[in-house]
Each structure stands twice: as structure tokens, then as C-alpha cells.
């Protein structure tokens, strides 16, 4: 319960809470029924296997994951999940379950499970489905205690029900060929269209194209926000690049949005939502920009690196570069037509980005920052009046500013909260005369998450 409450404190989006089902077994049962038929059928079953490692009293959790022939393939996912146990040595025979959810992307192994198919199971699934008005095809995700119970259609619980756009996930069995996977998908979608044709003949009107397009756009936007909810994937690590060491957090795809290196160079990329343009052809993630430039040690090297970026494939962005040795702050802007660079004074600066209303967010947040610097109310603590001068913030005040919900908690507050999105992480970078330090926290700034810190020594003192 405590863990659940801590998680809910970091989330400000709709959440479905359901009773935990232990299993320990899980299967995906794909079912269909033609509207003019009294009985339905099981089309496919996916048996879900939760991988484990077994302790030997010698090797750490990280060592065992990296040496396991399969776990090593997605070691990054597992090590993120067990970040606090990486150096733990399991007792001989102690079993650690690497995956708790039946999700392929999270490391669960999918196998063709049609050996679990029986008339008894099909009859029970059919009885449940007949009670769901308008449901004719989709996948049940079930948890159960043992195979024999499932075959008898008893002692299982439904964890999830997915509709027509779901998949017969047995196609992800590594023993299957690509051709067989496509054959299964084609068969599945023939069933979907056949069911749709019968429903149309029975008087059900299909959705207009405009409605489908509007719903798709809405889903697409929500999916991007959900992606941001998973944005804080990997905490900062020190990486050995070609010519320099650098610290940065990473998205699941490997890209990043902020970095600092041992030359005292800091980079930060923000999306430029105000420019409503899209690349004409293939799109490259903007997360690759900072990753490609993270080892650059001077303004000139950064300029050379920016010139080599696949700009025509990148959505609009603003790149902030801070070169401590040169005391130079520069802002690169790419709007899909022009690449420009502007130098800024070596003084306190603010940049803001918002996918909701970028111009409105800039105006509201700038007012909050200006009030804070001028000595107005501390937006992080309404009961305290604290200000800082134009020379900058101390660390405590900077953190209070980023926790700010002024003028009110919502899409324009610096610590942003919307029904479909929120601030998902906080990163701060400090560069002193001899070292660079990055501190990182998952979740909105107002949460009480743990701060992770990484430090590297500079190659030369500033």
C-alpha cells in the first residue's frame, strides 16, 4: 500500500486502480464471434513466461543479468527496474523475478500457448463474452494458478480486456517465423472486417472518416503525453565518449535532452512547439541531438557538430549551449527552414516550452520568475517571502522555483500538471572549478522522489 501511495503522489493523470492478482501464471486468450453465430471461438493463446535469475552467493544482480543469455538483451530495462539492487548478491538458490507484468516490452517472454486450448476453456470465455454487448473480437489477459485449472476454465481472473485493435500476441514467440506472424495478423484482420461487414448489414452505421481522423489525432496526442509519462527512463550515467566523459539521463531509445561533460560544456534541448511544422520524410528523434554533441568541448566544436545533424529529419527545436571555459551561452534554433544561432549574456536566463500553449506558458512563467528574482513571493512556499538578486539563485531557491504552482497549479505553472500530462522529471547541472555534477529526480518537481547525483572531474580547471 505504501508503494502504491508513493507512486500516486508522482502521477497527475487518470489512473485505473485494480486488485492485484498474483497468478503466478498469465496467458493472453484471443477470442472472436461472428454476430450472427451463437458461439465464438478461441483464435490464439499466448503463454507468458516471467524470467528469473537464481542467486549463487557470488555474483551481483547486475552481473547475473548481464551474463544471462536472454536477460542481457534488455539489460537496460531490468537494471533500471532494479537500480537499488544492482550490487546486491543473492543467496544461493534465491530467486529474483525480473518481470512482474505480462508485457513483452518490459521483458516478459511470449510463447504460443495453444496447448492450453480446450473446449471447456472456450465455453467459459464464450459465456463471459456473450454478456458484453457489442464485443465480438479481442484479447483477454488472464492470470491463473496452474495450467490444469485454466484448461478446465476455472480459477482464473481477467486482468485486462483488449478490443479489435489488439493482437494475437503469440506472434511474438521467437520460435515463429516472420511469415507466420504476418499470416496470423492477416487472418485476424480478415475476421475483424468480416465481423464489421455483418454489423453493418445489421444496421450499425460505420463511423464517418472525419470522426475516425479526429479520434486518431486525439489518441495520438494522448500517446505522446503517455510517452512523456515514461520519459524519465534511465537516471544519469557517466559515459566514456570518443574524446570526453559526459553525464546525461537517457530515454528508452538512447537519446537525451540534457548533458554535461568534463570540458565544462552543458547542453539542453527543448522542443519548439510554436513552430507547427513536420519533416516531409523520415523523422529522427530530437533526443539524438544532444547525444551527438555531448562530447563537444568548445563553441566551435558544437557549431561543427550542429552542421552535421540530419536537420531535415528533425522536428523544430531550441538547443541551449553553455561553454563554461568561454563564459558563453548560445541558443541554436531550427524551424525546419532556417538554422540560426544567437549568443546570450553570461547571466541568469530562462527558457520555456509547452505543447499546450507555448506562448501563454512563456508569458506566465516569465512573470513568476521575474517576481521571484525581484524578491516577490516565493512561489515554492507561499508563507515565506524570499527573493534573489539578478546574479542568480542559490540551489535551495532554484528548487523552490521549479516546484512552483504559481499562478495556479495547471498547464502554465513551472511544475506543470494537466489531466493528460505533467512534469515528469527534474534535472539540475552544476559546474564548479574542478567538477561537473548532475542531479536528477523522477516525477514532478513537487514530489518527494529521491535525487540521484553523478559527478565527473573536469579535464582542466575553470
CATH number at residue 136: 3.30.470.20
Give the pLDDT of residue 297.
Answer: 94
From the list 370, 427, 381, the residue with the least C-alpha distance to 404 is 381
CA distance 70 to 59: 17
Q: Report the alpha-carbon distance of residue 360 to residue 337 in Å, rounded.
A: 24
d(C-alpha 110, C-alpha 141), whole Å: 12
pLDDT at position 246 is 95
Q: What are phi and psi of 133, to 5 degrees?
A: -60, 130
8 Å CB contact between 233 and 248:
no
- Is there a domain that residue 120 lies in? yes
Assign 373 a pLDDT band (cuts: 50, 70, 90).
low
Query: Which helix (H) or strand (E) element contains residue 237?
Result: strand 234-240
Q: Which has more pLDDT, 395 or 288?
A: 288
Question: Tens digit of pLDDT for each residue in 256-277?
Answer: 999 999 999 999 999 998 888 8
Burial profile 407-429: b = 16 or more Cβ within 10 angstroms, e = fewer: eeeebbbbbbbbebbbbbbbbbb
Q: Is residue 278 part of a domain?
A: no
Q: What is the dihedral of CA 346, 350, 352, 357, to 10 degrees?
A: -130
Alpha helices in 299-351 (DSSP H): 299-307
H/E element, 96: strand 95-97
Q: For 241-352, list the strands marked E by DSSP.
A: 245-250, 258-261, 265-271, 317-323, 328-334, 339-344
For residue 401, is it within any domain? no
Q: Report the candidate in 243, 289, 254, 250 with the shortest Cα–Cα distance to residue 269.
A: 289
Residue 10's pLDDT is: 54
Are the beta carbons of 427 and 417 closer than 8 angstroms? no
User: Which residue did the predictor score with more confidence, 180 or 9?
Assistant: 180
Q: What pLDDT, on a 0 to 100 scale, did the predictor assign at position 371?
A: 77
- Residue 421's Cβ-side half-sphere holds a number of Cα atoms within 13 Å equal to 16
The confidence band for 76, taking pLDDT boundaries of 50, 70 and 90, is confident
Average pLDDT of every residue of the chain: 85
Pairwise CA distance, residues 358 & 368, whole Å: 15
Sorted by sequence, the CB contacts under 8 Å of residue 204 that are 6+ apart come out as none
User: Is residue 347 situated within a structural domain?
Assistant: no
CA angle 447, 368, 428 (to 5 degrees): 45
The answer as to whether 152 is a domain residue is: yes
What pLDDT was estimated at residue 268?
A: 95
Packing angle between helix 395-402 and helix 358-374, nearest 10 degrees? 140
Of residues 11, 393, 10, 456, the one with CA closest to residue 236:
456
More confident site: 326 or 381: 326
Radius of gyration of the chain (CA): 26
Question: For position 207, what pLDDT does the model report?
Answer: 82
Q: 271: which 3 cell numbers?
A: 522542443
Q: What is the pLDDT at residue 103?
A: 85
Q: Which domain holds residue 158?
A: 20-50+99-201
Residue 169 included in any domain: yes
Lowest mean pLDDT among 184-188, 372-376, 447-451, 454-458: 372-376
For residue 167, give the nearest of 142, 197, 141 by alpha carbon.
Answer: 141
Q: Is the pTM of this model over 0.85?
A: no
> Considering Cα of 382, then 385, then 390, then 393, what sign does the dihedral take?
negative
Let me know the angle formed at the C-alpha of 253 by 83 and 349, rounded to the nearest 5 degrees: 85
Residue 360 domain-assigned (yes or no): no
> How do residues 83-140 score in pLDDT, each as one tens digit?
878 889 999 999 999 988 888 878 899 999 999 999 999 999 999 999 999 999 999 9
In 3D, which of 354, 341, 327, 291 has the Cα closest to residue 462?
327
pLDDT score recorded for residue 6: 61
Q: How confident is the model at residue 79 (pLDDT cuts 50, 70, 90)?
A: confident
In a domain, 84, yes or no: no
Selected residue with higher pLDDT from 308 and 385: 308
Number of domains in the chain: 1
Amino acid at each position: 500500500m505504501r508503494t502504491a501511495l508513493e507512486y500516486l503522489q508522482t502521477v497527475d493523470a487518470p489512473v485505473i486502480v485494480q486488485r492485484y492478482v498474483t497468478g503466478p501464471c498469465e496467458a493472453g486468450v484471443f477470442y472472436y464471434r461472428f454476430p450472427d453465430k451463437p458461439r465464438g471461438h478461441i483464435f490464439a493463446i499466448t503463454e507468458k513466461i516471467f524470467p528469473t535469475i537464481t542467486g549463487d552467493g557470488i555474483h551481483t544482480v547486475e552481473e547475473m543479468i548481464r551474463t544471462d543469455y536472454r536477460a542481457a538483451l534488455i539489460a537496460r530495462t531490468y537494471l533500471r527496474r532494479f537500480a537499488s539492487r544492482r550490487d546486491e548478491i543473492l543467496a544461493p538458490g534465491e530467486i529474483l523475478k525480473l518481470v512482474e507484468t505480462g508485457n513483452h516490452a518490459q521483458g516478459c517472454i511470449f510463447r504460443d500457448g495453444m496447448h492450453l486450448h480446450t473446449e471447456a476453456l472456450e465455453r467459459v470465455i464464450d459465456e463471459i463474452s456473450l454478456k458484453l454487448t457489442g464485443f465480438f473480437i479481442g484479447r483477454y489477459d488472464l492470470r491463473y494458478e496452474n495450467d490444469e485449472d485454466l484448461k478446465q476454465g476455472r480459477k482464473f481472473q481477467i486482468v485486462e480486456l483488449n478490443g479489435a485493435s489488439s493482437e494475437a500476441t503469440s506472434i511474438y514467440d521467437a520460435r515463429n517465423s516472420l511469415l507466420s506472424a504476418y499470416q496470423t495478423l492477416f487472418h485476424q484482420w480478415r475476421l475483424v472486417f468480416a465481423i464489421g461487414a455483418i454489423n453493418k448489414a445489421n444496421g450499425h452505421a460505420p463511423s464517418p472518416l472525419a470522426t475516425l481522423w479526429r479520434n486518431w489525432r486525439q489518441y495520438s496526442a494522448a500517446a505522446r503525453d503517455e510517452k512523456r509519462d515514461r520519459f524519465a527512463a534511465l537516471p544519469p550515467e557517466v559515459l566514456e565518449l570518443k574524446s570526453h566523459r559526459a553525464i546525461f539521463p537517457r530515454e528508452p531509445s538512447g537519446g537525451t535532452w540534457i548533458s554535461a561533460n568534463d570540458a565544462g560544456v552543458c547542453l539542453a534541448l527543448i522542443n519548439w512547439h510554436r513552430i507547427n511544422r513536420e519533416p516531409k520524410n523520415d523523422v529522427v528523434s530530437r533526443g539524438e541531438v544532444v547525444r551527438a554533441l555531448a562530447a563537444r568541448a568548445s563553441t566551435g566544436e558544437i557549431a561543427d557538430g550542429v552542421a552535421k545533424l540530419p536537420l531535415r529529419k528533425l522536428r523544430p527545436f531550441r538547443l541551449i549551449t553553455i561553454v563554461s571555459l568561454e563564459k558563453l551561452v548560445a541558443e541554436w534554433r531550427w524551424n525546419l527552414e532556417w538554422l540560426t544561432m544567437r549568443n546570450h549574456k553570461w547571466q541568469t536566463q530562462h527558457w520555456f516550452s509547452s505543447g499546450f500553449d507555448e506562448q501563454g506558458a512563456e508569458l506566465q512563467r516569465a512573470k513568476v520568475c521575474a517576481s521571484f528574482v525581484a524578491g516577490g513571493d516565493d512561489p515554492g512556499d507561499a508563507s515565506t517571502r524570499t527573493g534573489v538578486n539578478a546574479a542568480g539563485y542559490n540551489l535551495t531557491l532554484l528548487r523552490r522555483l521549479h516546484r512552483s504552482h504559481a499562478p495556479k497549479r495547471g498547464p502554465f505553472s513551472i511544475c506543470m500538471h494537466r489531466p493528460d500530462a505533467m512534469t515528469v522529471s527534474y534535472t539540475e547541472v552544476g559546474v564548479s572549478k574542478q567538477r561537473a555534477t548532475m542531479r536528477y529526480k523522477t516525477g514532478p518537481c513537487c514530489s518527494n522522489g529521491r535525487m540521484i547525483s553523478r559527478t565527473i572531474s573536469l579535464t582542466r580547471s575553470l
